[in-house]
Amino acid sequence: MIIKVLFFARLKEQLGESSISVELVDGSDTNALKETLLARGEQWLALNDEAILMAVNQNHLSQVVTLNNGDEVAFFPPVTGG
Amino acid sequence: MIKVQLEDFDVGEEYQRLRERTSAGAIVFFVGLVRDMNLDQQVKGLQLEHYPGMTEVQLEKIVVEAKTRWPIQDASIVHRVGDLDVSDQIVFVGVNSAHREASFEACHFIMDYLKTKATFWKKERTLGGDVWLDARESDLKAKDKW
């Protein structure tokens, strides 16, 4: 299955990517996605920062969830609007 | 009404929109501006990034939550993105209700929630270079009090 992955703000600059597609085995969860990204190279360790937040299909993620083909997953630093 | 936009907004127009609800006895609004100082750094301006789609959904959810907590009639949020200069308007939050207390509290609640839930990120242009702002502990505490 194919997952669309987005990065924002500081993370986007650190990774040099704003949007990528990742192919995962069917039934994979958000942890598996993160592991796959971490394996891409040293700068991807930025995703391991515990402050980094995730959203799945534009909803804040509060626990590990199973992903489906076509899901949109975003990684981003804590928000600073307002 | 939720708006995320590059353009500036007119507080008078936003106020008027909230005023068109005839049974409202109170309107409370808040406007946030770009400050010229932050953490002792001279700020020249801001770049505001957001997550198109998710940001609007999160703002809608915050308004729905406010409506479940207080008897407010309507709420408006306008939040700007893109490049802003010192003293530019960043955000408008306005609420109307039959009596003032609900509007005061809901407006305060929406701002506190917006700062910790809505997917916006600020990058400041300072004399020392461009820096992404970190989230503040004080903002999280402000949200938790609701």
- Report the C-alpha gap between B124 and A55 in whole angstroms: 25
B9-39 pLDDT, tens per residue?
A: 999 999 999 998 678 899 999 999 998 877 6
A23-49 pLDDT, tens per residue?
A: 999 999 999 999 999 999 999 999 999
Q: pTM for the complete prediction?
A: 0.92
- Contact at CB, B51 and A80, closer than 8 angstroms: no
Chain A residue with the nearest C-alpha to that of B55: A58
* Pick among B119, B134, B143 to test the A interface (most A CBs inside 10 A): B119
- Contact at CB, A79 and B91, closer than 8 angstroms: no
- Contact at CB, B122 and A81, closer than 8 angstroms: yes
Alpha-carbon distance values, B94 to A25, B49, B53, B61, B76 (Å): 47, 22, 21, 16, 5
- Contact at CB, B121 and A82, closer than 8 angstroms: no
